[in-house]
């Protein structure tokens, strides 16, 4: 390393400079130079702590290189460079400036999280991720984006509250704030697991992603696709490798979004469901906990940022040029946006795991690890999910945007910087798929796995061939769902209905409790009797020191839920 500084620091300082710098070449140089210099400075970083700060008798480690840190560090620098390049044309007004600064802060927060060596530092960057990413949703300045951004922020802050509560309980139990392997033992571990699960979009906790990401700006959604969920994947890989429950959660994540993606009209929301599908492969690999599966999980996270970013850039370019993103409104754009169509198709081939494209060389590692560990019931689920992602992301996205019925829209290619960013991502997708050994060399565990043997290639080629035949057959027979304007009911609508009903039922009791709390008699009761019962020699806090923490967490959760649903 050139200078032993935390990787997030250049991005935070750069965000301030971007706000102060004049529009033009100086600002562009900053936006592109920060991730380049930061990435170069990270090369050769030695494992272990690089910075320690003592606060209240606890040692904080804001910069520690762990098992998976360097790979995610390189990835986030690449993603920040491509995202900044894609957004380089944003220089019209102060809103664009603030969006570019928020993107830098967001990328820096992600880097701070993956190099955090303790729970307190992780919590700080966990919450910064929430605030800075919400700004990229609000920057679109529509009613839908403002409301979606608020819902997104509430859920993300709730994840942070759970993380802090779990960390404090764990500190009490272990006496250490170091962030490392946790395992599912104890209340603190379960709260941390739930916190990570929210950010990783576990089933029934996933709707913040499909609700908010499609409402972001065309450029902001590219950043959103790169950081939040991948930080969660990193955290799960560090804290819960080999947790069997993750195998089944991951399998459900791969399969369940397919049905929603097939019927969804908003093509960026299709990619949101597709993102959950791909994260499922990573979560399954982490749950297996073997060297091969963990390598596959983090390699697939690396590749997913590139090909999913490419697909979001393709759809962002379409939205930027046409103002439309629904499949029912698009079609025939290959005539006026041939370069965008071709580059988007590269992303579609990559996410579908075509041989010689990046998705193939990482997804096959997870699939092979499943068979090695004897999970013969889970393997077909992931195989089905692989066919499903080919349908909704590999075929549906490019087909309905560029090659379906001619919508009559005639436009032009997006600005040069957007095309260049897509081309760079496409080159990386093809390069990694063709020469996977360079990615394998960055993986945390040594591996002799090679994806291009006859078994892997034939299996995947047959899957893709029959998947294409199925799509054509369904299209010709009219069975494949048409692109229609609609609102699809997802899991969130169950608690959107239930929670307000429950709150209305509880309102009289809450009002009564509020009157008691505000009365002086209650205060006297608490001071004279309640405090001694809770904190006295035989009270709850002495018998179970985490009891007061549980009470606090319960009150906070109730407050967040009431705020969210009202």
Reported confidence tier of residue 535, pLDDT bands at 50, 70, 90: very low
What digits encode the pLDDT tens for the residues 279-294?
999 999 999 999 999 9
**pTM > 0.75: yes or no:** yes
Average pLDDT score over residue span 48-70: 86
Beta bridge partners, 58, equal 55
Least confident of 56-60, 66-70, 342-346, 366-370: 56-60
Residue 554 banded pLDDT, cuts 50, 70, 90: low
Phi/psi of residue 184, nearest 5 degrees? -90, 70
What DSSP element (H or E) covers 61? strand 58-65
pLDDT above 70 (res 185): yes
Q: What integer pLDDT is reported at residue 311 of this predicted model?
A: 96
pLDDT of residue 409: 87
The pLDDT of residue 92: 63
Gap between the Cα atoms of 159 and 182, Å rounded: 17
The percentage of the chain sitting over the pLDDT mark of 90, rounded to a whole number, equals 60
Return the CA Rg of the chain: 24
pLDDT at 3: 60
> Mean pLDDT across the stretch 89-102?
80
CA angle 150, 152, 158 (to 5 degrees): 105
CA proximity to 196, closest of 270, 122, 269: 122
Q: What is the mean pLDDT of the segment spanning 123-150? A: 93
Cα–Cα dist 426/307, whole Å = 7
Mean pLDDT of 63-82: 95
CA-based nearest residue to 303, from 236, 210, 253, 365: 365
Q: Which residue has the higher pLDDT, 96 or 390?
A: 390
Instruction: Tell me the C-alpha to C-alpha distance, in Å, between residue 141 and each of 88, 236, 450.
Output: 19, 34, 47
Tokens describing residue 202: 């576990």
Q: State the CB neighbour count (10 A cutoff) for residue 200.
A: 30
Cα angle for residues 265, 232, 278 (degrees, 5° grid): 40
CA distances to 193, 238, 549 from 60, in Å = 21, 18, 22
**Residue 523 confidence class, pLDDT cut points 50, 70, 90:** low
Look at the chain and count its residues. 566
Question: Residue 508: which pLDDT band, with cuts at 50, 70 and 90?
Answer: confident
pLDDT of 356 reads 94
d(Cα 258, Cα 309) in Å, to the nearest integer? Answer: 19
Of 267, 223, 240, residue with least CA distance to 421: 223
Q: What is the pLDDT of residues 252-271, one digit of tens each?
A: 999 999 888 888 889 999 99
Which residue would you say has higher pLDDT here, 111 or 26? 111
CA atoms within a 13 Å half-sphere pointing along the CA-CB vector of 94: 1
Residue 534 scores a pLDDT above 50:
no
pLDDT in tens, 422-452: 999 999 999 999 999 999 999 999 989 999 9
Distance, in Å, from the CA atom of 225 to the CA atom of 503, rounded to the nearest integer, reads 34
Tokens (6 digits) for 36: 């380049």
How many Cα neighbours within 13 Å face the side chain of 505?
6
- Given its phi and psi angles, is residue 413 left (phi above 0), alpha (psi -120 to 50 degrees) or beta? beta
Q: What is the pLDDT of residues 446-482, one digit of tens each?
A: 989 999 999 889 988 888 888 888 777 877 787 766 6
Cα three-residue angle 447-452-453, rounded to 5 degrees: 95
Give one DSSP letter per residue of 400-466, joined into a string.
IIIISS----------HHHHHHHHHHHHHHHHHHH-THHHHTTSSS-----S-SHHHHHHHHHHHHH
Which pLDDT score is estimated for 123? 96
- As a whole number of angstroms, the distance between CA 167 and CA 176 comes to 9
d(CA 305, CA 261): 19
The distance of Cα 244 from the centroid of its chain, to the nearest Å, equals 22
The pLDDT mean for the chain works out to 86
Q: With pLDDT > 70 as the criterion, what percentage of the chain qualifies?
A: 86
Contact 133, 106 (CB under 8 A): yes
Q: Which of 481, 459, 301 is nearest to 396 (CA)?
A: 481
Is the confidence at residue 499, as pLDDT, over 60?
yes
Evaluate whether 112 touches 62 at the Cβ level (below 8 Å).
Answer: yes
How many alpha carbons fall within 13 Å on the CB side of residue 78?
A: 21
How much is the pLDDT for 490? 73
Q: Which of 36-45, 300-309, 477-486 has the lowest mean pLDDT?
A: 477-486
DSSP bridge partners of 60: 53
Mean pLDDT of 364-369: 94
Written as six digits, the tokens of 173 are 């139990």
pLDDT band for position 187 (50/70/90)?
very high
Q: Please compute the mean of the pLDDT values over residues 193-217 and round it to a whole number.
A: 93
pLDDT at 562 over 80: no
What integer pLDDT is reported at residue 512 of this predicted model? 72
């Amino acid at each position: 390393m050139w200078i032993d500084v935390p990787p997030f620091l250049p991005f935070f300082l750069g965000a301030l400079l971007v706000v102060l710098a004049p529009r033009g070449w100086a600002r562009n140089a900053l936006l592109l130079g920060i991730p380049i210099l930061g990435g170069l400075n990270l090369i050769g970083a030695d494992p272990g702590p690089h910075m320690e700060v003592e606060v209240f008798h606890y040692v904080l480690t804001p910069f520690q290189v762990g098992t998976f840190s360097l790979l995610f560090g390189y990835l986030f620098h690449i993603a920040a460079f491509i995202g900044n390049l894609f957004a380089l044309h944003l220089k019209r007004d102060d809103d664009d400036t603030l969006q570019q600064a928020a993107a830098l802060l967001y990328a820096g927060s992600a880097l701070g999280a993956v190099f955090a060596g303790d729970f307190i530092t992780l919590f700080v960057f966990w919450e910064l991720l929430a605030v800075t990413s919400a700004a990229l949703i609000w920057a679109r300045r529509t009613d839908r984006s403002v409301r979606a951004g608020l819902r997104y922020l509430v859920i993300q802050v709730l994840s942070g509250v759970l993380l802090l509560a779990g960390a404090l309980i764990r500190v009490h139990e272990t006496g250490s704030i170091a962030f490392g392997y946790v395992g599912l033992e104890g209340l603190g571990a379960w709260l941390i697991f739930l916190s990570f699960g929210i950010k990783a979009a576990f089933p029934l906790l996933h709707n913040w992603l499909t609700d908010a990401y499609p409402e972001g700006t065309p450029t902001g959604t590219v950043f959103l696709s790169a950081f939040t969920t991948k930080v969660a994947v990193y955290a799960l890989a560090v804290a819960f490798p080999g947790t069997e429950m993750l195998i089944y959660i991951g399998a459900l994540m791969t399969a369940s979004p397919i049905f929603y993606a097939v019927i969804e009209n908003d093509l960026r929301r299709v990619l949101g469901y597709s993102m959950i599908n791909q994260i499922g492969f990573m979560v399954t690999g982490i749950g297996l906990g073997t060297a091969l599966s963990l390598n596959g999980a983090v390699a697939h996270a690396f590749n997913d940022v590139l090909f999913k970013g490419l697909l979001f850039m393709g759809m962002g370019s379409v939205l930027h040029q046409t103002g439309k993103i629904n499949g029912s409104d698009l079609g025939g754009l290959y005539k006026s946006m041939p370069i965008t169509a071709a580059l988007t198709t590269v992303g579609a081939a990559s996410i579908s795991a075509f041989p010689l494209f990046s998705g193939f060389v990482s997804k096959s590692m997870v699939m092979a690890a499943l068979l090695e560990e004897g999970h013969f019931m889970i393997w077909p689920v992931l195989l089905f999910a692989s066919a499903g992602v080919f349908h909704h992301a590999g075929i549906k996205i490019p087909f309905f945007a560029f090659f379906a019925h001619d919508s009559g829209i005639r436009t032009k290619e997006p600005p040069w910087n957007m095309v260049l960013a897509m081309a760079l991502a496409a080159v990386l997708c093809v390069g990694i798929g063709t020469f996977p050994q360079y990615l394998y060399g960055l993986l945390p565990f040594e591996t002799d796995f090679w994806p291009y043997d006859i078994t892997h290639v034939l299996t995947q080629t047959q899957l893709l061939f029959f998947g294409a035949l199925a799509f054509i057959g369904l299209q010709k027979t009219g069975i494949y769902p048409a692109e229609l304007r609609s609102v699809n009911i997802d899991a969130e609508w169950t608690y959107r209905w239930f929670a307000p009903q429950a709150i209305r039922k509880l309102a009289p009791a809450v009002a009564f409790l509020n009157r008691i709390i505000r009365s002086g008699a209650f205060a006297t009761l608490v001071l004279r009797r309640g405090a001694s019962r809770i904190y006295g020699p035989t009270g709850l806090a002495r018998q179970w020191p985490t009891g007061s923490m549980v009470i606090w967490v319960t009150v906070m959760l109730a407050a967040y839920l009431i705020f969210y649903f009202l």
